[in-house]
Structure 1
Amino acid sequence: MLVVDDQALLRGSFRMLVDTAPGLVAVGEAGDGASAVELAAAERADVVLMDVRMPGMDGIEATRRICSSPATAGTRVLILTTFDLDSYVYAALRAGASGFLLKDTPPADLLAAVRVVAAGDALLSPAVTRRLIAEFVRRPEPARSPGGLDGVTQREREVLVLIARGLSNTEIADHLHLSLATVKTHVGRLLAKVPARDRAQLVIAAYETGLVTPAPRRT
């Protein structure tokens, strides 16, 4: 994995943590977004641990470039920052990040998050999901046309709604009375049709197309 942070001390700490964890290896480190984009392509990193605020190109733009480049199509980005702000959560996930953690996350949880993202899953904690929903509540109109779900079957739409509500594959299977294998097949087809890199992107698509509408805030 690649460690990206503008503070050398933090980079070193994260790299040491990763290198001492079984099955994980830090292949490099960068102090700004531009260097991160170059290194991610050069090293073919599976996961990039990305800071948000950095000089020059910030972590959001670096994430967008890494996730949109064919050279790093298989690279997952895990955002790690001290800034617990809604705008960063939305922007990071919208740019293609697969997860979002604060820098005060316990080491064991951080390593677990890296493994989750490396396996191709999205890391969407309940807190992050709540922030995403709050962000969409503030947006009066869908950001995408409902036509963005053309080709998605009715059953796949049902699965997508439940993904957007934060249910796991097992919970979706129980809710729809389907086998776990069938749910996984539907999720795989959704990823291809939407298209989306992972579950985080499916959640965003569900809200942006208006398929799922957040409940209005209580006043």
Structure 2
Amino acid sequence: MRKLTFILMVVLVAALALPGMTSHANALSTACGDQQDPSVPSSPCRPMYLGGEAVTLKTGVPFAWLRAEPKSPQIAATVWPNAAATMQIALGPQGHFDGFQWWWFVTLAPSGRPYLVGWVEQASLTANTTSPAPDDPSVVKNWGLPMSGKVKAGIPFVWMRVAPSSDAIPGYTIPPLGPFVVVGGPSFDGYQWWWMVAYPGPYGHVYGWIEQASIQPLS
């Protein structure tokens, strides 16, 4: 009789606790808001991301800084809006709540340079669900080298730069529809891809870097 009474008591306690357990489980199925503290008992939540998700900047966010630490003033890189995924939630350090807002450790993508990582506030991020445009400069072309090419129609001129970056010094100017040979690359500057080209100048070939969006392959 005592054994039966004990079993009934266990069943009763479990029945009384089940609604609370279900409520807590439902709460944890809700992702934490940008400034929602996960440690507050009255509003439990789970981190927004698990790791590995492709993300980009929210509409209306002009740019974001990759920071060396969550809420650190030290800036590692600048992320600009793009139709393609600009970042990926890293599989290493996960989200961090600094007492005011959530931060996520991300890899700048598709950089191919794993050291371009840093922390971005959750309020600036959103999951990337769009496919990149065919001429998106952040999506690398699968070009075999060497490859004959020319300045894409409609572009008045192209600067050949001494390094694969918009900040690099122009070393030579290629005129409209100017022909060249793509001989090196690609290299990503955090915003777009660059290729090294050889252009037939008046005193021999000139070498420099031009942005992928200005290149028209010659079949």
- Which one has a larger percent strand, Structure 1 or Structure 2? 2
Q: TM-score, normalised by structure 1?
A: 0.26
Relative to its length, the structure with more helix (as a share) is 1
